[in-house]
Amino acid sequence: MASLIAPSKHNPIEDAEALQRAVKGWGADENAIIAILGHRNGTQRTQIRQAYYDLYQEDLIKRLESELSGDFERAMYRWILEPAEREALLANIALKNANMNYHVIVEISCVSSPDELFIVRRAYHNRYKRCLEEDVATNTTGHLRQLLLGLVSSFKYGGSEVNARLAQHEADILHEAIKNKNHNHEEVIRILTTRSKTQLVATFNRYRDDHGIAITKKLLDEGSDDFHKAVRIAISCINDHSKYYEKVLRNAMESDGTDEDALTRVIVTRAEKDLEDIKKVYYKRNSVHLEHAVAKKTSADYKKFLLTLMGKEE
Amino acid sequence: MASLIAPSKHNPIEDAEALQRAVKGWGADENAIIAILGHRNGTQRTQIRQAYYDLYQEDLIKRLESELSGDFERAMYRWILEPAEREALLANIALKNANMNYHVIVEISCVSSPDELFIVRRAYHNRYKRCLEEDVATNTTGHLRQLLLGLVSSFKYGGSEVNARLAQHEADILHEAIKNKNHNHEEVIRILTTRSKTQLVATFNRYRDDHGIAITKKLLDEGSDDFHKAVRIAISCINDHSKYYEKVLRNAMESDGTDEDALTRVIVTRAEKDLEDIKKVYYKRNSVHLEHAVAKKTSADYKKFLLTLMGKEE
């Protein structure tokens, strides 16, 4: 369930006019901006961008970028985009990063539905005049490249059929591959990048039933290089992405310094999808409400904005 | 240009009724079937299948399968499908073949536009309840797997921008990879599977300008294993698929026995796309009209049907 609270009806022209009042003159009215955009869904935000352009011949995103700053600006910039456009942006930022944040690439590939992922790839074309695979491939090598390329390029079957014998067979292949270390990356990659989500979940369950340990836990003992990490993240995202995101949020706020990039990414990308579910998992795991944790680790407009997206007004 | 001659208007119900008359009783009226279906485009054929089903609660394809036989039946079966459905079928047949016809997989991946290829992948889901990558991956290993998976999974950028420096750089990479034999398959695969068609054509041209020989010719000297063959086919299809298909047709009819599978595949898949262009290339290369060559190598209903699709009535 989404955490975003958006009205079923809104007037894009009135919204655009109110936003113009909020950004004109000295200093922007951040409260007004949050009150509007923090309560509009993807379609509504796109209508507002269009109405704003029609009224003022100006790109609302560029205007907000120049008026806002810091974590709040970055969060707003990500939020205002349509979901597929935003994932394309996040993938591109991850790829441009000096030590490539491959976990963002794995997340986008493994959490999105096959059709959603395809729309992200199309959005990447439109935005960067290149394909996503191209940038993934030029920034990686070896087995990590093969895994990431396979994941971002996949168009997995989305049906609910499960082949139990195949699950057994491939759980065995995964077991052998982990046991013999580094000896059969190819088959691990093949299984993860081509089998349907439902089939993979059956395979992971088979593994746990046979060996009494979750495959992600087992992998943890085996290696901590980028390839092993990426495999673990892929399995976590496929198995239960709410749990995966809970962990990302927990890690982002656990250390002394907060990882605002991760915090923003999860809240902004999940707010109109399933942040309510993630909030529940977070509370169950930490006995603290996610909103309280976020409120403690953030401040000012950034804090207000994230809380708004989480459905929690101050 | 297409070679198929189809009326701009047709009545699907009348067509379905005429087809029913042609298949009922003892022995089918092949001439009537060719006269109708050999002159209908993809949309029209789908309308006829639907009308036939509505009128007779019977699948026209199944009925034709049981009434016709041999090469004519196989050609008709392929023809009647919609293009994406047909490519999904051809890919599947190629993958089920004992010595996998990877060239069909390369053809489909490299000749189709990025959007067409995606529709083929969707058709594969619908038809086989699995994804195409899955079947490609389980039937191949090593670098051939990596190449084929990369090609079938690609969603290349379709724009016409060319980066001349990149073309030079990657022409050099290809040159080094070929010179050092087998030493940098990974980079060859990366370039072929991720760069846009326009960019690749610029890279291949750069290669020829620098080294005075076409890259496909150079590759011919280097190896004849499946991987090298697949690379050559991919480059040919990307560079100029009319020339590629001309060669497939020539090879199919050159030997004593005719390769009906290849002959059918090219004529059926290109008839409503660009068979006229391929016919021109064929004539230029062989000083024989393709229709004459085909007429000499085939007979009976199969011959009549292929010639009809080629726009040549007897």
Are the beta carbons of B133 and A121 separated by less than 8 Å? no
- Indicate the pLDDT class of residue A182, thresholds 50, 70 and 90: low
Are the beta carbons of B154 and A161 separated by less than 8 Å? no
Check whether B133 has a pLDDT greater than 60. Answer: yes
pLDDT at B274: 96
Check whether B92 has a pLDDT greater than 80. Answer: yes
pLDDT at A195: 97
Check whether B98 has a pLDDT greater than 80. Answer: no
Query: Measuring CA to CA, which residue among A205, A134, A137 is closest to residue A171?
Result: A205
Residue of B nearest to A141 (CA): B186
User: With the CA atoms of B49, B55, B61 and B64 taken in that order, what torsion angle do they form, in degrees rounded to the nearest 10?
Assistant: -130
Chain B touched by A137 (CB under 8 Å): yes
Q: Which residues of chain A neighbour B158 with C-beta distances below 8 Å? A: 125
- Indicate the pLDDT class of residue B182, thresholds 50, 70 and 90: low
Highest mean pLDDT among A96-100, A178-182, B241-245: B241-245
pLDDT at A178: 85
Q: Which residues of chain A neighbour B145 with C-beta distances below 8 Å? A: 186, 190
Chain B touched by A145 (CB under 8 Å): yes
- Indicate the pLDDT class of residue B179, thresholds 50, 70 and 90: confident
Are the beta carbons of B137 and A194 separated by less than 8 Å? yes
Rounded mean pLDDT, A275-291 = 97
B131 to chain A, minimum CA–CA distance in Å? 5
User: With the CA atoms of A144, A148, A149 and A153 taken in that order, what torsion angle do they form, in degrees rounded to the nearest 10?
Assistant: 160
CB-based contact A245:A104 (threshold 8 Å): no
Residues 6+ apart with CB under 8 A from A173: A184, A187, A188, A191
pLDDT at B312: 83
Q: Convert the pLDDT of each residue in B38-69 to its tens digit.
A: 999 999 999 999 999 999 999 999 999 999 99
CB-based contact B152:B121 (threshold 8 Å): yes
Chain A touched by B155 (CB under 8 Å): yes
Question: Which tokens belong to B258?
Answer: 């005719």
Question: Which tokens belong to B183?
Answer: 């030493």
* CATH class of the A12-68 domain in this structure: mainly alpha
- Indicate the pLDDT class of residue A313, thresholds 50, 70 and 90: low
**Could you tell me which residue, A216 or B26, shows the higher pLDDT?**
A216
Check whether B257 has a pLDDT greater than 90. Answer: no
Chain A touched by B153 (CB under 8 Å): yes
CATH of domain B164-239: 1.10.220.10
- Indicate the pLDDT class of residue B276, thresholds 50, 70 and 90: very high
A2 to chain B, minimum CA–CA distance in Å? 29
Are the beta carbons of A193 and B133 separated by less than 8 Å? yes
B84 to chain A, minimum CA–CA distance in Å? 16
**What whole-number distance in Å separates Cα of residue B58 and Cα of residue B10?**
21
B163 to chain A, minimum CA–CA distance in Å? 11
Chain A touched by B9 (CB under 8 Å): no
CB-based contact B301:B75 (threshold 8 Å): no
Q: Which residues of chain A neighbour B122 with C-beta distances below 8 Å? A: 155
Check whether A257 has a pLDDT greater than 90. Answer: no
Rounded mean pLDDT, A45-56 = 97
- What SS3 class is residue A82? coil
CB-based contact A218:A211 (threshold 8 Å): yes
- Indicate the pLDDT class of residue A188, thresholds 50, 70 and 90: very high
CB-based contact B129:A130 (threshold 8 Å): no
Q: Which residues of chain A neighbour B91 with C-beta distances below 8 Å? A: none
Residue at token pair 């030079």? B168
pLDDT at B222: 76
Query: Measuring CA to CA, which residue among A140, A127, A153 is closest to residue A95?
Result: A140
Check whether B107 has a pLDDT greater than 60. Answer: yes
Are the beta carbons of B131 and A159 separated by less than 8 Å? no
User: With the CA atoms of B206, B211, B214 and B215 taken in that order, what torsion angle do they form, in degrees rounded to the nearest 10?
Assistant: -80
Residue of A nearest to B149 (CA): A150
pLDDT at A100: 77
CB-based contact A144:A230 (threshold 8 Å): yes
Q: Which residues of chain B neighbour A170 with C-beta distances below 8 Å? A: none
pLDDT at A218: 87
Residue of B nearest to A127 (CA): B157
CB-based contact B244:B114 (threshold 8 Å): no
Chain B touched by A240 (CB under 8 Å): no
Determine the Cα angle at A123 with ends A117 and A127, to 5°: 145
- Alpha helices for A68-196 (secondary structure H): 70-80, 83-96, 102-111, 114-128, 132-138, 142-153, 164-179, 185-194
pLDDT at A17: 96
How remote is the C-alpha of B167 from its chain's centroid? 28
Q: Which residues of chain B neighbour A125 with C-beta distances below 8 Å? A: 155, 157-159
Residues 6+ apart with CB under 8 A from A176: A184
Query: Measuring CA to CA, which residue among B138, B139, B106, B143 is closest to residue A190?
Result: B138
pLDDT at A223: 74
Chain B touched by A118 (CB under 8 Å): yes
Chain B touched by A195 (CB under 8 Å): yes
Q: Which residues of A98-134 are buried (b: 16+ CB within 10 A; e: fewer)?
A: eebbbbbbbbbbbbbebeebbbbbbbbbeebebbbbb
**What whole-number distance in Å separates Cα of residue A143 and Cα of residue B146?**
11
Rounded mean pLDDT, B281-300 = 96
Rounded mean pLDDT, B257-282 = 96
CB-based contact A173:A137 (threshold 8 Å): no
Which residue in the set A121, A130, A154 is minimally distant from B133, CB to CB? Answer: A154
**What whole-number distance in Å separates Cα of residue B105 and Cα of residue B120?**
11
CB-based contact B232:B246 (threshold 8 Å): no
Residue at token pair 């398959």? B185
Q: Which residues of chain B neighbour A196 with C-beta distances below 8 Å? A: 130-131
Query: What is the total residue count of chain B?
Result: 314
In eight-state DSSP terms, residue B25 is: S
pLDDT at A180: 79
Record: fold of B242-309? Annexin V; domain 1 (1.10.220)
B88 to chain A, minimum CA–CA distance in Å? 14
Q: Are domains A83-153 and A164-239 of this chain identical in fold?
A: yes
**What whole-number distance in Å separates Cα of residue B298 and Cα of residue B261?**
12
- Indicate the pLDDT class of residue B100, thresholds 50, 70 and 90: confident
Are the beta carbons of A156 and B118 separated by less than 8 Å? no
Superfamily name and number for B83-153: Annexin (1.10.220.10)
Mutation site for A-interface testing, chosen from B157, B161, B184, B192 by largest number of A Cβ within 10 Å: B157
List the domain boundaries for chain A: 12-68, 83-153, 164-239, 242-299
Residue of A nearest to B189 (CA): A137
Report percent pLDDT > 90 for chain B: 86
- Indicate the pLDDT class of residue B313, thresholds 50, 70 and 90: low
CA-based radius of gyration for chain A = 21
How many Å from the N-terminal Cα to the C-terminal Cα in chain A?
Answer: 21
What mean pLDDT, rounded, does chain A reach? 94
**What whole-number distance in Å separates Cα of residue B297 and Cα of residue B259?**
10
Rounded mean pLDDT, A94-100 = 84
Q: Convert the pLDDT of each residue in B11-39 to its tens digit.
A: 999 999 999 999 987 788 999 999 999 99
Task: State the CB neighbour count (10 A cutoff) for residue A210.
Answer: 12
Chain A touched by B127 (CB under 8 Å): no
Check whether A189 has a pLDDT greater than 60. Answer: yes
CATH of domain A242-299: 1.10.220.10
Which residue in the set B121, B142, B156 is minimally distant from A131, CB to CB? Answer: B156
Check whether B275 has a pLDDT greater than 80. Answer: yes
